Amino acid sequence: MTAFLPWFFGLLIIFLFAVAFLLLRKRQANFTLRPSPQKMPLTKLDSPLFKEEYAGDLTTLSKVIPQPQEPEEELPDKYNIDRLVLMARDPYWLYAYWEISAATQEEFKTNYGPSAWSQSQPVLRIYEVSGIGFEKQSVLEYLEYTDIPISDQVEDWYIQVGQPDRSFCIEVGRKLQNGHFITLLRSNVVSTPRASLSELVDEEWMWIENLYQTIRHQYGVSSPLIEEEIAGRAGIVPLGISSPGFYISQE
């Protein structure tokens, strides 16, 4: 009996190894025969799983339908009014712009004939009126003038006068075939500026008592302006107050 036990345990171990081997082979066979899983189509993965959103997409303002904007109003080319404006550009040039209304044109045609407007020449007439005060329009008829022919399409003009420190007035009209000038518009009077420095020089500086009283209360007694006031009362003219042409005589 004792000699049989080793054989029994040996057969049992062999049997267990055989069973384990068969189970392992069967498990490997199942893995081999099982079909491999099919790949998912890539078409469903082309789009991202999460859509990116911005702050503007999260508000309701982005969904508001834009309203059509009204067209901006433009300034008209003409206002259908009678006007002639004269300005001085510099000591030697003037600038004028004008507009003749349709009513004035029709009145001209009524007075001088339907074809008078097309057969007449538009003209700018320039008067030099320095030192002349004319309240009546008839005064210009006795003054010398210069005529500048223009066209009907022109509504502004630069006028070279070449005379600084002088006054001018112009008229816009039409010259008939017989040479008669018909005035349509008359401008304001303008003066060209000087082309040199002024020759006027201050001869004396006027001291204003009330001005210094105001300065005394505003700046205090220790202000340099008060020292100038005291010097002025003593007969000493403060330097730097008079114009460049004022000289202090020292006796």
DSSP per residue over 100-165, as a string? --HHHHHHHHHHH-TTHHHHSEEEEEEEE-TT----SGGGGGGS-EEEEE--TT--EEEEE---TT
| Gap between the Cα atoms of 185 and 157, Å rounded | 15
- The pTM of the full predicted model, rounded to 2 decimals, is 0.53
Express each pLDDT in 112-158 by its tens digit. Answer: 999 999 999 999 999 999 888 655 556 777 788 999 999 999 999 99
Express each pLDDT in 43-101 by its tens digit. Answer: 554 555 555 655 555 555 555 667 778 788 888 878 889 999 999 999 999 999 999 99
Q: Residue 89 in 3-state DSSP?
A: strand
Where do the structural domains in the chain lie, given as residue ranges?
83-191, 203-251
Q: 225 pLDDT exceeds 60?
A: no
Which one, of 175, 102, 176, 108, lies nearest residue 145 by Cα? 175
| Gap between the Cα atoms of 82 and 106, Å rounded | 13
| Gap between the Cα atoms of 186 and 125, Å rounded | 9
Please name the residues in contact with 216: beta carbons below 8 A apart, sequence gap of 6 or more.
223, 226, 229
CATH fold group of domain 83-191: Immunoglobulin-like (2.60.40)
Q: Residue 168 in 3-state DSSP?
A: strand
